[in-house]
Amino acid sequence: MIRRAIVTGGAGFVGSQLVWQLQRQVPDVQIVVIDDMRCGTFSNLVEDPFGKAGPFKGTVIAKPLAAVDIRDIAARFEPEVIFHEAAITDTTVTDEATMINDNADSFDTLIDVAQSVGSRLVWASSAATYGIEAGGATVAHRPFVCRDAGYPANVYGFSKWLMENQHRRAVADHRDFHMVGLRYFNVFGPSEAHKGKMASMVYKLAMQMLDGQQPRIFFDGTQARDQVYVKDVVAATIAAAADDAKAGIYNVGSGVATSFNQVVEQLNTALGTDLSADYFDNPYSFYQAYTCADLDETRSGLGWEPSYSPEDAIVEYAHWIRGQREDSKRSLSEMKI
């Protein structure tokens, strides 16, 4: 059980869910969130979306990583684990210098600090490190195995690949350093609304359908992604910090490729709608039309595997979104009275 943790990006989607789970597991856990709120929001830290953690009890340092004295904070706070979730997560950002500076530049310092204070370091990489053709997307679809990565198709994926190189250098120099990188695939679940156009397709399609609109997806909807529930991603992230986790870089996904046509079908079932897809042409040249995590190494290295199938998770999440919308409509109508 973790009693003291730093969570960078803790006001974002995955980071805030991680904070809540740590607080659910150990109610008096001490947490320092470092998040400059460029994308995340305080409201993710006001209420546990799964309702069991009580109010947030930690500290927030609302500054960019590059502007905080992380060495001093870690020396005084002595975290058992540093969870590094902060990153520019808009994969369509094309300002290459900003993406690389913001995502990869502070990482060497973080690694150095974790090593010097004896903290474990668990950080978020991405399936974007594979690029378009990993797993043989243009040949025959097969799950992505870890050694296939390294051909990112956008600067976001490239910045994560640079971080993986930093990781490999760090563990080569310090073989007993507990450092785990996690290549998250397409994560969805509560607390992602602040991401706007970068929120998951599951969320965006559910919102369109609850508005009575046809769900808009790229032609012809057969593109398939590994859709993984945030509860599973958080469980994997915590498993990566456990004593018996083996240092390394691992895939974190559902292990299943779900097509966008299937997502629409599953949302129709969950929401009781009957809306057909409104297809449009894909404008992106760097689009991953197929992703699927191979989980063999993750199972053996972290002792973790997903507990939700994508379909069960989509149904649970769709019900949660509908519940939230009904609650906010009710409070709006009560305010009008």
Confirm if 29 and 23 have CB atoms less than 8 A apart: yes
Task: Please give the distance of CA 278 from its chain centroid, rounded to a whole number.
Answer: 27
Which of 31, 36, 190, 249 touches ligand NAD (CB under 6 A)?
36
Of 33-41, 208-216, 253-261, 291-299, the window that binds ligand NAD (rule: CB under 6 A) is 33-41
Q: Of the residues 130, 156, 203, 229, which is catalytic?
A: 156
| Amino acid at residue number 236 | A
Of 162-170, 180-188, 271-279, 309-317, the window that binds ligand NAD (rule: CB under 6 A) is 180-188
Confirm if 258 and 300 have CB atoms less than 8 A apart: no
Which of 21, 23, 89, 227 touches ligand NAD (CB under 6 A)?
89
Which segments of 46-129 are extended strands (E)? 59-61, 81-84, 120-126
Q: Is 150 left (phi over 0), alpha (psi -120 to 50) or beta?
A: left
What track of x and - describes contact with ligand NAD for positions 184 through 223 (by CB under 6 A)?
A: x-xx-------x----------------------------
State the minimum distance, in angstroms, from the CB of residue 63 to ligand NAD.
Answer: 7
Pick between residue 10 and residue 211 the one whose CB is nearest to ligand NAD: 10
The count of other CB atoms within 10 Å of the CB of residue 212 is 8
Pick between residue 170 and residue 187 the one whose CB is nearest to ligand NAD: 187
Closest listed residue to residue 184, CA positions, set 253, 230, 92: 253
The count of other CB atoms within 10 Å of the CB of residue 27 is 11
**59 vs 42: CA distance, rounded Å:** 11
Of 48-56, 71-79, 80-88, 161-169, the window that binds ligand NAD (rule: CB under 6 A) is 80-88
126 binds ligand NAD (CB under 6 A): yes
263 binds ligand NAD (CB under 6 A): no
Instruction: Give the chain's largest Cα–Cα span.
Output: 66
15 binds ligand NAD (CB under 6 A): yes
87 binds ligand NAD (CB under 6 A): yes
Encoding tokens for residue 130? 């594979």
Task: Please give the distance of CA 310 from its chain centroid, rounded to a whole number.
Answer: 15
Pairing of strands 216-218, 186-188: unpaired
State the minimum distance, in angstroms, from the CB of residue 187 to ligand NAD.
Answer: 4
Pick between residue 62 and residue 140 the one whose CB is nearest to ligand NAD: 62
Report DSSP state, residue 104. Answer: I
Of 73-81, 183-191, 215-223, 297-305, the window that binds ligand NAD (rule: CB under 6 A) is 183-191
Residues found near ligand NAD in the complex (CB under 6 A): 9, 11-15, 34-40, 64-65, 85-89, 102, 124, 126, 184, 186-187, 195
* Active-site annotation, residues: 156, 195
